[in-house]
Amino acid sequence: MKKPIDPKTHGVMDYLFGVFVLLAPAIFHFHGLPANLLYVLGIGHLLMSGMTAYPLGITKTIPFTVHSKIEAAAAVFMLASPWLFRFSALEAARNVYVAAGAVVLVLWSLTDYRSMWRGSLTDIFPEEYRKAA
């Protein structure tokens, strides 16, 4: 089954998600450790997005498949953070972390991380290499 989210769409969602994570503490009125951790996660997510080798990447130094593994780990980390860092009683912060982690997991599961590398050998190798084969 083909996954519905292509690399370009994923890139748009990555940048929007990074901005949302940075704004979430102000929007949902929480501060301290939960807010500071979100700032670190948001900046990290935006930096990773800018460094990913996909259509919206800037430096294109992180392979998209590596990006996927980091994203999966980050999603699990976000889901567990309210309990790992003992702020699960702060309802707004807990809900933001759980919702954000769930969104990243859904995005991760629906993204075709290998679509950029599909195609025939004629798409990958220049003409002179195809003639030698």
Q: Is the pLDDT of residue 98 over 60?
A: yes
Nearest to 70, CA basis, from 41, 99, 37: 41
What would the pLDDT profile of 104-129 be if each residue is shown by its tens digit? 999 999 999 887 654 434 444 445 44
Q: Which residue ranges make up each domain of the chain?
A: 7-132
Residue pLDDT, tens place only, 69-95: 999 999 999 999 999 999 999 999 999
